[in-house]
Amino acid sequence: MPKFKYYLFSILLLPAISFGAPDKVAKVIIMRGKVQAKTGANDSKQLKKGMWLSEGTIVKTSPKSFVKLIFIDKSQMNLGPKSQMKITAFPKKKAGIITLMKGQLRSKVTKDYMGIQNKNKSKLFIKTKTAAMGVRGTDFQVNFNPKNLTTALVTFEGAVAMAQLGDTMKNLRASQGALERMVSSDQAVMVKRGQYSGASPKQLRATTPVKINPAQLKVMEKNDGSQAKASNKSKGQGKKLGHNKKKFRNIVPPGMDAKMAANTDNSVDKVVTSAVGSSMVKRMDAEVKAEQSPTGTTPPPEGMHNRITGEMAPTAGGYVDMATALYIPPPPGSAFDPTTETYIPPPEFGGFDAGTGEYVNSTMTLTDEGTFVMKEQPLIDDGRAPASEGGDLGEPAPTGEPVMELATCFDCAPSGEIQYDEFGNPMPPPDQQYQELADEAIHDFNNDHENSLEQNIIDNRTRVKFIFNAN
Amino acid sequence: MPLLLNLKKLALISTLFFFSVGVFAQSYQMAESYKYFKTGDYVQAIETLSKIKGDRKMMGTKHYLMGVSYNKIQEYDLASKSFKLAIKSGNKSRDLYYEYGQALYAANELSKARKIFNESAKRNFKKWTSLYYVAHISQILEEWKSAKKYYQKIIDSDSAEGNILQVARFQMGETLLSMTRTRHGDDKDKQREMVGKFVLRQFDRAINVDQNSSLSRDIRERKTEVQREFGLDPDKFTNGRDIPKENWDLYVAQEFRYDNNITFSSDTPSVQATQKDSNIVETEAYVQRKFILGRRWQIAPEFQFNLLYHQDRDSSEVFSNDQYRLSPAIRLKYEHKAFGSPATILLDYDYSYTARDKDAIKDMGFYASSNTVTLGWRFKYFSSGETTFKVKQKSYAAYLNTLNNTTSSVSFDHVAILSTQRIIVFFLSYDDVAVEQKSDSSKSYLMRMDYIIPGISDMYTLDIALTVNMVDEYLNTSKTSADISYAPSIKLTKNINKHFKLDLFYDYTMNTSEDTANSEYTKHVSGMKIKYSF
């Protein structure tokens, strides 16, 4: 029903759009809270429902505010709370360019519109300081955090091409041609349904798309950005997922391969078939298949890193934190879900709000730098207990202390391995290095001291001779 | 009557109709929840399932599917409840006990979980993984015998392979380690023996299952940890100190320095004219070979050669100092523990042969030889760093009997490593030089402190030092106090590359004495040294 209303509204709006003033490109159709539009240096106004916006307008939302815009090409954009975007360009005959300066932007483009032109060309560009995205899909969400310059893209339907903007490119004046070249280059990635890709100055290129946590995806998909407040609805049995106050042990015993512990049997299919009949199960399987569009070549769920090309895919199944725009990959040792081919982050890695899809963690805070800081007593000891440990529940980390970092390197040498100096020499542990330096100083000095003792005797003799001579 | 019959029929048909509709609705909900489950929308699947009410079979399916879904979203306590109900409802799913066991294990209901995993293994569902859980739970519950029994079952099986075999072998090692600790209490030697014989062997066999797996990396790290704990690390001495990675230490060095007062002439105007300066070139070559015996002993024979050449070839007082020295030595170290930290007993024997241009004829001949025996002990008593005590006896035989002497020394040094990663070295020494011609005998007290700043721009090390030396000629009654010299110095070292190292240094010496005319002097030495290590 809401969808129908939406289309009806769009149809009614069309004539208004067609006959509107030529520089007006978007209209406010839904709004909540305080939203401002800035068209010039000193020209700032409060937005109201029904107002028109022109090219060059900067739209800024306050906390708990939200605005939905419909553009002249019928595409819709929802700007989330504490966000800022600029309608950089929106010509009638070319793809529009939207710059997301901070916060969250959810965009929906109708399928009909997508059918009008060449599907291999972008119909809309979204730009942030670190990424350029060419929209070839119909529904996606972009988050940009200006503090860590990280861009996160999640696609719900269709596909979005994404390329990371290097230092030299990020300040270039964006044109459709330049953006199209970027998102069509071999450095760009195609983010399809259910996938995430991120761009940040810490990496060489946009991450290879991976599946995010399927449950979070579902909730995010349903929330177009208008649900800003944490929900207490019945989803997840009336609570936020990841907020379970009980202490749970990691289901994968230390050292065991998560895939080995995973149940890959098709018992669920068999049991349901026996309960509802094979025809209904087949019908549902067909529906599932249709819903899950093919994602092409995907990296293994464990993730991968090609040091030569810089291609990097984090572990699949992680959460997307919309506030920091960071992806929280499941740590090694996480349980594997063979149904969705994703890893399940352990409870201490948080969960998501069942109403908004926002990442939540009751024990730790994720900083913009990707460090988890303790809020209170931890729920669980081991995200990834060393293989040698029995997984006993450990001592809580002190509040405010950083307890772990998000994995940004997927094949780094583990700690404790030999360190090498700048010349490639293996380095002894620091204490031993210092001792060696001290030993060298003592050795040199001892030689000098020996010489000086010897010299003393010679001096004495000289002096004695001198005294004799004086006498 | 026919009407009554018709009504009955209608009631029956209606009942059947509504029943069918009800059954269909439940089936449809079940199918829908199945679809949610398949797309990973477990929350929606649970919500849909919770609305289903039906016969025993349908309820069994419902609870089973809810349990699996709860497991996926890590609501393990709710999963356990659902699986329990599924079993009660007679659900016969193959994986029911395995999933139930995992839920109980995660919810820390370990004894129950072990029972359920045993049941899963009996039903031949993921048999070896189920047994692994049984063994691992026994290990957590510190029931070592039971853990050992189940790990052994996995190890002995023909069908368990890959990761499960590797992790079982590894955990078998851990179990044996725990058993060793429990059985042999404080008997460290016995523990060491058992760990070497059984635990490390299991670790090695675990690594050999798949040397490239990430688990192998963990096992290697753990092995090193255990080796260190029990003094069995082949790269370390038994006390935990690192065994030097290189057996050979070989370098050559060339030093160029300028000394403004080679003759140690007084600064007093009357004597100042006798001050002689010169550029000095010193060449040094050093070789040492280390032999490690039984991870306790280190024997290192060494040989050093020094050649000193003064550029001033006109002043005999200067070039008569030209010399070369041959210094073979043998150094013996015994590693042990003291104050809970690694400690070393040092025993050195040094021989030195010096040839000098003593007659200023521009030809070097025998000048002196010496034999030195040093006994020392390095230990860590203070948390800041290591301390070394040394006693030394040196007998010196020169070309002139009057120069022959015996030096007895006691020295102490302490290396303090600061939290700022700077190093302070304290050095105290007392030397008693007994010369054959007793009037030349002296006692000297020396104190030196170095402040070393390593890692400046990753490549530089700065060493700032101050030496205070007090020499008391105890038979020289003409003086009432000792000569004291103050010598501040600075040295900047640059690690040019893997082999080359460059030192730039400046030393200043000021000697104060009652005998101002003869013994008070100042001295500036500056220069550079380049060292090539092989």
Most confident option among A141-145, A234-238, A401-405: A141-145
H/E stretch holding A141 reads strand A139-145
Query: Is B175 in the same domain as B252?
Result: no
What is the average pLDDT value for chain A, to the nearest integer?
A: 75
- For chain A, the domains span 2-171, 212-261+309-414
Decide if B441 is inside a domain. yes
Q: Which of A160-169, B35-44, B73-82, B140-149 has the lowest mean pLDDT?
A: A160-169
B346 beta partners: B333, B376
Cβ of A458 within 8 Å of Cβ of B218? The answer is: no
The rounded distance, in Å, linking the Cα atoms of B178 and B162 is 25
> ipTM of the predicted structure?
0.71
- Give dist(CA A359, CA A353) in Å, integer: 6
* Listed range (A277-281, B4-8, B49-53) with the worst mean pLDDT: B4-8
* Whole-number Å distance between alpha carbons of B473 and B463: 31
Query: How far is A51 from chain B, CA to nearest CA, in Å?
Result: 38
CB pairs under 8 A between A and B: 262
Residue B237 lies in a domain: no
Any domain includes B338: yes
DSSP string covering A184-212? HSTT-EEEEBTEEEEE-TTSSSPPPPEE-
**Of A208 and A297, the one with more pLDDT:** A208
Together in a domain, B278 and B332:
yes
Write the Ramachandran bin of A26: left for phi over 0, alpha for psi from -120 to 50, otherwise beta. Answer: beta
Instruction: Examine the domain organization and report whether B406 and B452 are in the same domain.
Output: yes
pLDDT at B219: 93
> What pLDDT is attached to residue B175?
94
pLDDT at B5 over 90: no
User: Does residue B433 share a domain with residue B348?
Assistant: yes
* Confidence (pLDDT) at A417: 41
Clarify whether residues B318 and B283 are in a common domain. Answer: yes
Q: Are B508 and B478 in contact (CB under 8 A)?
A: no
Task: Please give the share of chain A, as a percent, with pLDDT higher than 90.
Answer: 20
Any domain includes B156: yes
Please report, to the nearest 10 degrees, the dihedral formed by the alpha carbons of residues B130, B133, B135, B138 taken in order.
-130
Count of domains for chain B? 2
| Domain identity same for B129 and B258 | no
In a domain, B234, yes or no: no
Residue-wise DSSP of A411-434:
SPPPTTSPEE-TTSPEEPPHHHHH
Locate A362 and state its tokens.
């009751």
Average pLDDT (B184-205) is 89
Task: Return the pLDDT at A411.
Answer: 40
Phi-psi region of B74 (alpha: psi -120 to 50; beta: other; left: phi over 0): left
CATH label of the domain that carries residue B335: 2.40.160.60
Mutation target vs B (from A193, A452, A468; most B CBs, 10 A cutoff): A452
* A332 neighbourhood in chain B, CB within 8 Å: 214
Is B170's CB within 8 Å of A387's CB?
A: yes
Confidence of residue A247 (pLDDT cuts 50, 70, 90): confident
Nearest-by-Cβ selection for A249 from B32, B105, B515: B105
CA atoms within 13 A on the CB side of A236: 25
Q: What is the mean pLDDT of residues B78-105?
A: 94
Confidence band, pLDDT 50/70/90 cuts, at residue A403: low
Q: Where in B75-191 does DSSP place strands (E)?
A: none
CA closest to B206 among chain A residues: A255
- Place B199 in a pLDDT band, splitting at 50, 70 and 90: very high
- β-strand pairing of A96-108 with A124-127: parallel
Is position B438 within any domain? yes
Most confident of A16-20, A460-464, B457-461: B457-461
Interface of B with A in 107-146 (CB under 8 A): 107-108, 125-126, 129, 132-133, 136, 139-140
Q: Are residues B221 and B289 in the same domain?
A: no
- Say if residues B454 and B493 touch (Cβ distance below 8 Å): no
Statement to judge: residues B284 and B194 lie in one domain: no
B221 and B354 both lie in a single domain: no
The answer on B177 and B94 residing in a single domain is yes
Q: Do residue B421 and residue A434 have CB atoms under 8 angstroms apart?
A: yes
Contact A218 B41 (CB under 8 A): yes
Q: Which residues of B touch A233 (CB under 8 A)?
A: none
Do A276 and B463 lie within an 8 Å CB cutoff? no
CATH 2.60.120.1440 fits A2-171, yes or no: yes
Cα B151 from Cα B168, distance rounded (Å): 6
- Flag whether pLDDT at B144 surpasses 50: yes
CATH number at residue B117: 1.25.40.10
**Range of the structural domain that residue B454 is part of:** 248-533
Phi/psi of residue B175, each to 5°? Answer: -65, -45
Six token digits for residue A446 = 């001892």
Q: In terms of domains, do B217 and B269 share one? A: no
What predicted TM-score, i.e. pTM, was given to this entire model?
0.65
Residues in B 303-332 with any Cβ partner in A closer than 8 A: none
The residue that leads in pLDDT, B380 or A234, is B380
| Residue B528 pLDDT exceeds 90 | yes
Q: Which two tokens stand for residue B271?
A: 């004597």
Q: Do residue B321 and residue B440 come from a single domain?
A: yes
Best of B440, B445, B467, B495 to mutate (most A CBs within 10 Å, chain A) = B440
If you average pLDDT over every residue of chain B, what do you get?
88
